[in-house]
A and B are shown apart, each in its own frame.
Chain A
Amino acid sequence: MKRSYPSVIVGVVLAGIAFLWSTGIIISRSWPLGQDEKAGQKVIRLLHWQLEPGYREALQEVIDDYNALPHVQQAKVEVRQIGISERVYGQYLNVHLISGTAPDLSVWGQSHLVTTGATGKFYESLGTFAELPNPYHAPQYLPKDLDPELARFLISAPWRETFLDGMLNGYDYSLKNYYAAPISTFGTTRVFINKSLLRKVKTFLREAMAEPPYAPWVEATRLRTRLNKTEGYLPLEERTLTWVNSDQPPHTLGQLLLLCAAVQEYALQFGLPNLVPIAGSEATAKAFRDAYLVPFTAEISRGLDFDLSGGSDQLETWVGLAQGRWSFESPSVEAYHEVIRELAQQFPAGFLGLDREQANRRFVLGNALMIATGGFDAEGIYLASQARTNPEDRFEVTIIPFPLPAVGERWAEHVAGPASEVSFVYGVPLAIYRRSPNKLWALDFLQYLTSLPVNERFNQRAGWLPYTVGAKPSERMAPFMPNPVGIHNSTRLNTILRMENNLPASTYQNQLWQYATGAKPYPAFARDVEEALDNPRNGIDRIWYQEWRRDVDNVRNRERGIDLQEFSLRLSNPGEVYLNDPRHRILVFEAILQRHGQRIRWLHDHTNGREPFPEF
């Protein structure tokens, strides 16, 4: 194609102007401290990458309120936020961490300097403050109408205990210290239901079940045994009929699958080829896969718990399979995979090739009754469901947790209980730069931001979920609050997480969907995984070796941490060469406990007899 010469020049000039303008903005935002110090002002810079609509505005409101506090004004302190794109955040932070010009507060993560274990080098530990109450939970800062029990708790509890997960999301396990305080959570994954479609499908279902005999598609969902084989999902009796005759969304897995059958039939009868029960995608499939893992495999997991940790990690899971402690024929394992297969049948064909956005689009266009996704998609889905041109196409959304099979339904006897959502995904963990000249003010702002009333107001305004205990989310986001009631998240077959060169896990992940979509029979799926386990190069032996290597590296890191702590203590306690400091003690204890990978070797000998420990 021929391009005119002047237009190229104009393009280059415009690009140059844009570059200079951006550079100017970055420089001006990077160096406000020096300018303001001249005026005797202390500027606390807060760096983050949350550019979603509403987030910066909500943060600015909080910052403005803080800057207006009398003691903050008196000290001439001013907090400013710097929001930059996630794409450049890592590089930006790396450069400033190394050059000593990093902002006083920044979101922990993204920078490879931090993710590769140098947290202690760049960020200030918060351990001492985590053990003390948050000063902004003093009575004068708490709402007058706050639950008195909650108020008492907040006033006296250590700062760390005032976070939903005890501040563990800001804890560095290798350094045994707190380095960040998250200020929001992403929330949990839930099932979104199109209420308008739900009404239509339930009307259709009500008519189909008005009186027996039911249509064959309804009868197919009836729980029954045929030729020693269980079929269907739930008994079609009074309880089911009561639910069918209500406007309620599904409360049980049986009801959800009955509803799916109704959607399939509805689409067929009304000629709606694009309509599917669940807007499936790779992400949706994973959401369902993970949601049912703990309920179905917790009991087996408890039996694999060699180290009495209350769950089974990757090693315990795969060793358990290699030694026949569980198998693909174990009833609850088989039941779990049946559930996943039944659910996968409700997704559109080729769902593994679809991404989250495509699934969301299908749902908001009304071509799916349900979708499973996280709170981070809620705002977008709510808005899009109301933004259709034709008002008749607009719909309300209802949110439900992943329903479990109820008593009397298929698979109910294999369910140990719901999964706790305590290991939820947190967001925006803010850490204090070690070289900040205003560390205590940065801490003060962080404590202000994580106090109940402020954290609640901020997250409600931002459309995110609060991280502080007792803080209420906005009405729309409430269904996404993590629910700690349930079995611990580690109590499950740990087949999913993939370690480097872990062939059994990667085979499991790939073949699961082959099976779930009907492309591969269950015995063949099981055989593939078992063969991967026996692979001499990347099978169970490799997993043993990797676990041992990981332990050895952990001990080595802890030993390094011990010396860092000793040198730090010497700086703050001149004349003292060795101090029995609590954090130092924790590091020593953890290093000793792991015994340079000897526990893994013992476990190997204990479970494999005289087999030599694998080396790679």
Chain B
Amino acid sequence: MLGLSSCDSSQQQALPTSTRLLEASRAVASHEFGPAYRAYHGILEIDDLTTEQRAEALYGLATAAWHRTPPDSARITMAEDSYREVVTRYPDSAFAPLALRNLARIAESIDYPGDESKPRVAESLYRDILERWPDHKVRHEITLRLTSNLWTDISDEPRVEEGIMILEDYLRSNPSSPYLAAGWELLADLHAIERQAPERALQYYLLADAAGFVDHNRNALNFYRITELARKVGYLDTEILFHQRMITELPNSGRAYESLQRLVEIAIMHPERDFKIPNIRRFQLTEIPEGNLSAVSSISRPVGRLKEDRFSTDKITAPTDDLHPQSPYKASEESLDKGKEPLR
């Protein structure tokens, strides 16, 4: 691998432009923003660059300038100017929509002490991208960025509603969007926290789960939120299912035991409910400290009152009899407006 740091400027100048662009990109990808900046600067001095090469070099130069540390207003202005040049001088370049997106990102970001976020500027740029490149791959990301931008001030109800509407419409009309799960989770998060609307948040979380949560490292958090929201709105089956899944799918999350406790509690409170309480996979545990388990009444007493056959090591699957044949969670989307429990 040829590294920029090990290559002086005369050596670089002797290389073909495509190689120089590749090496400059590699420098950005390796956090080497200073060398990358100088490399792109050198490339831009070449007279016979193609339009696309010039757009790429300008885009790279802007990105390196934006992320160089320490950040200051001069570097940010330089980045903005370069991105702007890509958009205005090379609007047909593959980098133009990304440059416009990055102008919006910079407008929203707080880059250095004293910098201010400018969400309205960013909003207008995001809308511009969607209008000018409605079929570009970046539109999915931009739609999410735009809706989140509209939620900057939660007290501005019309804008918040508009954001929700834009995102919902987009997700429903783009069921194969790469941002499907992310979009549902974004809506769920907003409704769970700022909007304080547990039922709706729950429905969105279930849709995100059905699409496959965007980041599996958030699964424990999301499962926890689903169980809490289901408990709040009294959707017992949903709560039970996600406690079961917490134990079987995420036994190392640190939440499995609390789910076990809660299932025992539900089993005591609702003897009519027939469900299995999965055991935490034994090989992932050491023995439960003898003194501690027996010491805590809230754990030991209810367990003692349950029959052995309530506990299972089998894989837990969602009950499917009342659900859409194609997807165990399909019912949740349909029930969004009907106020029904999504899982029965």
- Chain A interface residues (CB < 8 Å from chain B): 100, 118, 120-121, 147, 149-150, 153, 161, 163-166, 168, 171, 176, 250-253, 306-310, 400-401, 403-407, 412, 415-418, 420, 422-423, 434-435, 469-470, 478, 481-489, 552, 555-556, 559-560, 563-564, 566-568, 570-571, 577-580, 582, 585-586, 588-590, 592-593, 595-599, 602, 605-606
User: Are the CB atoms of A563 and B289 closer together than 8 Å?
Assistant: no
Q: Which residues of B contact A593 (CB under 8 A)?
A: 148, 186, 189
User: Are the CB atoms of B221 and A420 closer together than 8 Å?
Assistant: no
Q: Identify which of B103-111, B233-241, B322-330 touches chain A.
A: B103-111
Contact of B296 among A121, A176, A415 (CB under 8 A): A415
User: Are the CB atoms of A567 and B63 closer together than 8 Å?
Assistant: yes
User: Are the CB atoms of A483 and B286 closer together than 8 Å?
Assistant: yes
Instruction: Give the distance in Å from the alpha carbon of A555 to the alpha carbon of B217 in the complex.
Output: 18
Q: Which residues of B contact A100 (CB under 8 A)?
A: 3, 6
Give B146 Cβ to nearest chain A Cβ, in Å. Answer: 10
Q: Which residues of A contact B153 (CB under 8 A)?
A: 598
Tell me the nearest residue of chain A to B296, going by C-beta: A417
Give B76 Cβ to nearest chain A Cβ, in Å. Answer: 12
Tell me the nearest residue of chain A to B256, going by C-beta: A484
Give A556 Cβ to nearest chain B Cβ, in Å. Answer: 6
Instruction: Give the distance in Å from the alpha carbon of A401 to the alpha carbon of B153 in the complex.
Output: 48
User: Are the CB atoms of B252 and A164 closer together than 8 Å?
Assistant: yes
A560-B67, A571-B22, A588-B144 known; A121-B32 Cβ under 8 A: yes
CB contacts under 8 Å to A, within B4-63, are 6, 22, 25-26, 28-32, 60, 63
User: Are the CB atoms of B221 and A310 closer together than 8 Å?
Assistant: yes
B154 on the A face (CB < 8 A): yes
* Residue interface bits B69-89, CB-to-A below 8 A is 1, else 0: 000000000000000000000
Q: Identify which of B133-141, B267-275, B302-310, B331-339 touches chain A.
A: B133-141
Tell me the nearest residue of chain B to A597, going by C-beta: B110
Instruction: Give the distance in Å from the alpha carbon of A318 to the alpha carbon of B228 in the complex.
Output: 23
B297 on the A face (CB < 8 A): yes
Instruction: Give the distance in Å from the alpha carbon of A417 to the alpha carbon of B3 in the complex.
Output: 55
Q: Which residues of A contact B137 (CB under 8 A)?
A: 578-580
Instruction: Give the distance in Å from the alpha carbon of A150 to the alpha carbon of B251 in the complex.
Output: 14
User: Are the CB atoms of A309 and B221 closer together than 8 Å?
Assistant: yes
Tell me the nearest residue of chain A to B225, going by C-beta: A308
User: Are the CB atoms of A485 and B285 closer together than 8 Å?
Assistant: yes
Give B282 Cβ to nearest chain A Cβ, in Å. Answer: 8
Contact of B178 among A164, A481, A580, A590 (CB under 8 A): A580
A578-B98, A586-B215 known; A418-B28 Cβ under 8 A: no
User: Are the CB atoms of B193 and A121 closer together than 8 Å?
Assistant: no
Instruction: Give the distance in Å from the alpha carbon of A260 to the alpha carbon of B148 in the complex.
Output: 58
Q: Which residues of B contact A571 (CB under 8 A)?
A: 22, 25-26, 29
Q: Which residues of B contact A153 (CB under 8 A)?
A: 281, 283
Q: Which residues of A contact B199 (CB under 8 A)?
A: none
User: Are the CB atoms of B257 and A470 closer together than 8 Å?
Assistant: no
User: Are the CB atoms of A478 and B295 closer together than 8 Å?
Assistant: no
Tally A-B pairs: CB < 8 A.
Answer: 215
Q: Which residues of B contact A590 (CB under 8 A)?
A: 215
- Chain B interface residues (CB < 8 Å from chain A): 1, 3, 6, 22, 25-26, 28-32, 60, 63, 66-67, 94-95, 98, 105, 108-111, 117, 136-138, 140-141, 144-145, 148, 151-155, 178-179, 182, 185-186, 189, 192-194, 214-215, 217, 221, 224-225, 228-229, 250-258, 261, 280-281, 283-286, 288-299, 313
A564-B31, A567-B63, A599-B194 known; A251-B294 Cβ under 8 A: yes
User: Are the CB atoms of A121 and B31 closer together than 8 Å?
Assistant: yes
User: Are the CB atoms of A484 and B182 closer together than 8 Å?
Assistant: no
Contact of A406 among B105, B144, B228, B294 (CB under 8 A): B294
What are 15 sample pairs from A and B whose C-beta atoms fall under 8 A apart? A121-B32, A168-B217, A412-B295, A416-B298, A420-B257, A435-B1, A469-B252, A469-B284, A470-B283, A484-B257, A564-B29, A589-B179, A589-B215, A599-B194, A602-B154
User: Are the CB atoms of A596 and B1 closer together than 8 Å?
Assistant: no
A100-B3, A571-B29, A578-B138 known; A147-B283 Cβ under 8 A: yes
Contact of A478 among B217, B258, B286 (CB under 8 A): B286
Q: Which residues of A contact B280 (CB under 8 A)?
A: 484-485
User: Are the CB atoms of B182 and A585 closer together than 8 Å?
Assistant: yes
User: Are the CB atoms of A585 and B193 closer together than 8 Å?
Assistant: no
Instruction: Give the distance in Å from the alpha carbon of A556 to the alpha carbon of B111 in the complex.
Output: 7
Instruction: Give the distance in Å from the alpha carbon of A423 to the alpha carbon of B145 in the complex.
Output: 33
Instruction: Give the distance in Å from the alpha carbon of A405 to the alpha carbon of B95 in the complex.
Output: 65
Tell me the nearest residue of chain A to B189, going by C-beta: A593
Give B281 Cβ to nearest chain A Cβ, in Å. Answer: 8
A571-B26, A578-B138 known; A605-B155 Cβ under 8 A: yes
Instruction: Give the distance in Å from the alpha carbon of A150 to the alpha carbon of B229 in the complex.
Output: 33
User: Are the CB atoms of A401 and B291 closer together than 8 Å?
Assistant: yes
User: Are the CB atoms of B288 and A422 closer together than 8 Å?
Assistant: no
Q: Which residues of B contact A605 (CB under 8 A)?
A: 155
User: Are the CB atoms of A418 and B155 closer together than 8 Å?
Assistant: no
Q: Which residues of B contact A176 (CB under 8 A)?
A: 215, 217
Q: Which residues of A contact B288 (CB under 8 A)?
A: 483, 485
Instruction: Give the distance in Å from the alpha carbon of A288 to the alpha carbon of B66 in the complex.
Output: 48
Tell me the nearest residue of chain B to A486, going by C-beta: B257
User: Are the CB atoms of A596 and B252 closer together than 8 Å?
Assistant: no
A483-B289, A564-B28 known; A417-B284 Cβ under 8 A: no
User: Are the CB atoms of A422 and B291 closer together than 8 Å?
Assistant: no
Instruction: Give the distance in Å from the alpha carbon of A555 to the alpha carbon of B106 in the complex.
Output: 12
Give A569 Cβ to nearest chain B Cβ, in Å. Answer: 9
User: Are the CB atoms of A602 and B194 closer together than 8 Å?
Assistant: yes
User: Are the CB atoms of A559 and B140 closer together than 8 Å?
Assistant: no
Instruction: Give the distance in Å from the alpha carbon of A118 to the alpha carbon of B69 in the complex.
Output: 12
Q: Which residues of B contact A118 (CB under 8 A)?
A: 31
Instruction: Give the distance in Å from the alpha carbon of A401 to the alpha carbon of B293 in the complex.
Output: 11
Instruction: Give the distance in Å from the alpha carbon of A599 to the alpha carbon of B195 in the complex.
Output: 12
The interface centre, meaning the residue of A415, A416, A418, A590 with most chain B CB atoms within 10 A of its CB, is A418
Q: Which residues of A contact B189 (CB under 8 A)?
A: 593
User: Are the CB atoms of B292 and A403 closer together than 8 Å?
Assistant: yes
A406-B294, A423-B254 known; A481-B3 Cβ under 8 A: no
User: Are the CB atoms of A580 and B25 closer together than 8 Å?
Assistant: no
Q: Which residues of A contact B178 (CB under 8 A)?
A: 580, 585
Give A75 Cβ to nearest chain B Cβ, in Å. Answer: 21
Given contact pairs A150-B283, A406-B295, A585-B214, a sample of 18 additional A-B residue pairs in the complex whose CB atoms are under 8 Å apart: A149-B281, A166-B253, A307-B193, A310-B221, A310-B255, A415-B295, A417-B261, A418-B293, A481-B286, A483-B289, A556-B110, A564-B29, A578-B98, A582-B214, A585-B179, A588-B182, A589-B144, A592-B186
